[in-house]
């Protein structure tokens, strides 16, 4: 076996946070300020890593939220946690669980499911599923003593069972030598009942008898960054977001050009709504971040500068960044476009439909 990976892998971290209840006794003013600082710190890393927030309030007692992080290098993960530790809210957060892993190709061969292409094991592409089910996983040493052909047969059974539940999508990452577990498995889906039935059936598979540990298990609810912060209690995130200095003309500063060099994109928030910013050949465009087809994050899409368009990362819907209109693919509805100004190095965004008082209004014919 080669000692060097033939393709670039991603670093993956599942960090679970628990809030000290003392934070809820702070003044509303400080809570709002702390949420804004924490949220903007996360947003500032949009160009360095992929991050998905999930809530666990009301589900587990030992953690309140998850930040699922995917980066090209370990340094980005370290830098994010260091920055969060320096925030006011970070001083009240513990990390009871943190799992580190990397992507890699499986050593087992699995035929493609009918009508489904083989997913890349090297790139994490989170879906917009409502729930994420995460747990660390360790096999017994006896498993590794078995001939590979025998293990392949058992894994084939495992896969056949999984394919009976097409609503559940699996992300497997590897932790050998990096962390205490061997794998981290993260299942995405919209039905906890489907996942429960899948796991019950997998328990009866032969491969399951070689499981040493697959706990703790986390059921996580995907939500926007600001909605997730709201689950912590205290001053609402709308109050925190409203503290951004929206100007009298309705524009809100959301980024700097240094944050958004030509050819890049990032997700920001305007009035609590997620907005995708794109710098196309030096011109900044802003559209609603969610695809109108399946609500994928357009800020993670591919930009065609020649058409000034973005392609959705999931089902390849194409939207004009100038008008929001659908240019191709399955979406039937356009995305909202936002007004953008650049003053000096500051990028400002205003909600759709806002009329700049300094711009003349065309007379009616």
**Range in 8-17, 86-95, 119-128, 307-316 with the lowest mean pLDDT:** 119-128
Per-residue pLDDT, 230: 87
Share of the chain above pLDDT 70, in %: 89
Q: What is the mean pLDDT of residues 5-15?
A: 86
| H or E stretch covering 217 | none
Per-residue pLDDT, 365: 37
Per-residue pLDDT, 69: 96
Which of 189, 196, 184 is CA-nearest to residue 220? Answer: 189
pTM score over 0.95 = no
Q: How confident is the model at residue 361 (pLDDT cuts 50, 70, 90)?
A: very low
**Range in 4-13, 145-154, 320-329 with the lowest mean pLDDT:** 4-13
pLDDT at 178 over 80: yes
Convert the pLDDT of each residue in 230-265 to its tens digit.
899 987 765 555 556 667 788 988 888 988 899 999
pLDDT at 48 over 90: no
pLDDT at 87 over 60: yes
Per-residue pLDDT, 57: 97
Per-residue pLDDT, 362: 38
Per-residue pLDDT, 297: 80
Share of the chain above pLDDT 90, in %: 67
Q: How confident is the model at residue 357 (pLDDT cuts 50, 70, 90)?
A: very low
Task: Give phi and psi for 35, each to the nearest 5.
Answer: -65, -45
Distance CA 45, CA 234 (A): 25
Q: What is the mean pLDDT of residues 46-50?
A: 83
Largest Cα–Cα separation, the chain: 82
Per-residue pLDDT, 240: 57
Q: What is the mean pLDDT of residues 342-362?
A: 68
Per-residue pLDDT, 23: 96
Domains of the chain in start order, with CATH, are: 11-225 (3.30.70.1030), 245-350 (2.102.10.10)
Contacts of 196 (CB under 8 A, 6+ apart): none
Which of 22, 25, 85, 96 is CA-nearest to residue 56? Answer: 96
Convert the pLDDT of each residue in 104-146 to its tens digit.
999 998 876 554 444 557 888 888 788 999 999 999 999 999 9
pLDDT at 160 over 70: yes
pLDDT at 179 over 90: yes
Q: How confident is the model at residue 55 (pLDDT cuts 50, 70, 90)?
A: very high
Contacts of 98 (CB under 8 A, 6+ apart): 13, 14, 15, 16
pLDDT at 359 over 50: no
Q: What is the mean pLDDT of residues 307-317?
A: 91
pLDDT at 363 over 50: no
Q: Give me the DSSP letters along 74-100.
A: HHHHHHHHHHHHTSTGGGGEEEEEEEE
Distance CA 292, CA 68 (A): 24
Q: What is the mean pLDDT of residues 313-321?
A: 91
Q: How many residues does the chain have?
A: 365
């Amino acid at each position: 076996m080669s000692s060097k990976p033939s393709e670039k892998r991603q670093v993956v971290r599942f960090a679970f946070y628990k809030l000290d209840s003392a934070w809820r006794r702070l003044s509303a003013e400080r809570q709002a300020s702390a949420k804004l600082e924490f949220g903007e710190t996360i947003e500032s890393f949009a160009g360095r890593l992929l991050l998905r927030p999930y809530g666990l309030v009301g589900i587990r007692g030992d953690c309140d939220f998850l930040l699922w992080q995917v980066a090209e290098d370990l340094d980005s993960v370290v830098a994010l946690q260091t920055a969060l530790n320096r925030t006011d809210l970070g001083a009240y957060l513990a990390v009871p669980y943190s799992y580190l892993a990397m992507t890699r190709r499986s050593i087992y061969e699995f035929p493609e499911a009918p009508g489904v292409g083989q997913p890349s094991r090297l790139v994490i592409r989170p879906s917009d599923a409502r729930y994420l089910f995460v747990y660390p996983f360790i096999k017994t040493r006896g498993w590794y003593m078995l001939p590979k052909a025998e293990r392949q047969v058992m894994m084939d059974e495992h896969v056949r069972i999984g394919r009976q539940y097409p609503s559940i999508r699996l992300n497997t990452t590897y932790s050998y030598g990096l962390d205490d577990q061997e794998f981290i498995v993260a299942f995405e889906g919209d039905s906890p009942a489907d996942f429960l039935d899948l796991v019950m059936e997998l328990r009866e598979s032969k491969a399951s008898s070689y499981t040493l540990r697959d706990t703790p298990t986390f059921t996580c609810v995907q939500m926007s960054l600001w909605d997730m912060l709201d689950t912590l209690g205290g001053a609402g995130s709308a109050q925190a977001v409203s503290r951004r200095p929206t100007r009298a003309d309705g524009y809100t500063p959301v980024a700097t050009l240094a944050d958004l060099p030509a050819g890049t994109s990032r997700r920001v928030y305007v009035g609590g709504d997620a907005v995708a910013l794109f710098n196309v050949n030096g011109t900044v465009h802003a559209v609603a971040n969610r695809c109108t087809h399946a609500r994928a994050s357009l800020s993670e899409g591919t930009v065609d500068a020649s058409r000034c368009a973005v392609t959705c990362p999931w089902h390849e819907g194409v939207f004009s960044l100038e008008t929001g209109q659908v240019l191709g693919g399955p979406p039937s509805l356009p995305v909202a476009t936002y007004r953008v100004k650049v003053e000096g190095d500051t990028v400002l965004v205003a909600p759709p439909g806002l009329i700049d008082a300094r711009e003349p209004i065309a007379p009616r014919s």
